[in-house]
């Protein structure tokens, strides 16, 4: 058993590529333009931790309240914090400006701890199943980030570009969670997205 607070804050970071993998062993997720956060809950305490270890649980109350309403008392999930515009697409400027903090929600895509059990050595497919169970009755503050599997990846990327989204992240379904740079996670960005015009990703 591993308390949620004991999990390293180091997140897995996708490798940048120009092409989306299409093999059957890949899951593909929409890449939302936001801030990467780790959500840790231990009893009645929730922390929203940035890559540099800042706790933003007071900054984003919608997320904190949603985490407290989940039925599990101890978990760690990996997510992207976003502000959604009127068109349902993530609005990075609205997020970064800080005026919409009360509206910030999370798209959850991985689970690292479940009821004190370290899940990082489990394959992604299993971690996704556990995450889906955890968020089955989640409120609006935390949303399960859907994925597609296999050969659909390149077509999904084309559709993401047409919609003006940041891009997609493809992940090997049969691998564990590795902190730091990870060749099993591949990020392909829409060349016309706003994220490509920024000097670099914001890393809090």
Judged by DSSP in three states, 34 sits in coil
Q: Which of 43, 94, 96, 36 lies closest to 67, judged by CA?
A: 43
Q: Which of 151, 115, 165, 197 lies closest to 27, judged by CA?
A: 151
Q: What is the mean pLDDT of the chain?
A: 89
Q: What would the CATH number be for the domain defined by 11-197?
A: 3.30.470.30
pLDDT for 197 beyond 80? no
Place of tokens 């180091």: 10
Residues 188/42, Cβ–Cβ less than 8 Å: no
Annotated active-site residue 136? The verdict is: no
Q: Does the predicted model carry a pTM greater than 0.85?
A: yes
Residue 201 pLDDT: 54
Q: Which of 135, 67, 146 lies closest to 104, judged by CA?
A: 67
Task: For 137-147, write each residue's pLDDT tens digit.
Answer: 777 899 999 99
Task: For 6-50, write each residue's pLDDT tens digit.
Answer: 444 578 999 999 899 988 999 999 999 999 999 999 999 999 999
Distance from C-alpha of 140 to C-alpha of 87, rounded to nearest angstrom: 17
Q: Which of 140, 183, 136 lies closest to 12, judged by CA?
A: 183
Question: Over pLDDT 90: what percentage of the chain?
Answer: 75
The C-alpha angle 32, 51, 200, rounded to 5 degrees, equals 55
> Among 31, 171, 187, 189, which one carries the catalytic annotation?
31
Residue 139 pLDDT: 72
Tokens of 6: 């004991």
- Asked whether the CA dihedral 30, 174, 106, 18 is positive or negative, the reply is negative
Domain ranges of the chain: 11-197
Residue 37 pLDDT: 96
Question: Over pLDDT 70: what percentage of the chain?
Answer: 92
Judged by DSSP in three states, 169 sits in strand
CA dihedral 27, 28, 29, 33 (to 10 degrees): 130
Q: Which of 91, 82, 81 lies closest to 164, judged by CA?
A: 91
The phi and psi torsions of 85 (rounded to 5 degrees) equal -80, 180
């Amino acid at each position: 058993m591993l308390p949620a607070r004991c999990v390293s804050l180091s997140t897995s970071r996708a490798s940048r590529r120009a092409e989306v993998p299409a093999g059957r062993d890949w899951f593909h997720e929409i890449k939302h333009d936001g801030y990467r956060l780790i959500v840790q809950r231990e009893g009645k305490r929730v922390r929203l931790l940035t890559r540099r270890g800042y706790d933003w649980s007071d900054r984003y109350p919608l997320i904190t309240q949603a985490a407290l309403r989940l039925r599990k008392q101890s978990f760690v999930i990996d997510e992207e914090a976003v502000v959604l515009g009127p068109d349902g697409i993530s609005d990075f400027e609205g997020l970064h400006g800080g005026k919409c903090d009360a509206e910030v929600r999370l798209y959850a895509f991985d689970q690292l701890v479940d009821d004190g059990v370290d899940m990082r050595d489990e394959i992604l497919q299993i971690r996704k199943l556990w995450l889906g169970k955890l968020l089955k009755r989640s409120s609006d503050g935390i949303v399960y980030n859907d994925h597609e599997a296999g050969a659909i990846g390149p077509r999904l990327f084309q559709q993401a570009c047409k919609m003006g989204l940041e891009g997609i992240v493809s992940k090997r379904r049969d691998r564990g969670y590795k902190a730091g740079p990870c060749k099993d996670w591949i990020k392909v960005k829409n060349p016309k997205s706003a994220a490509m015009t920024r000097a670099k990703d914001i890393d809090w």
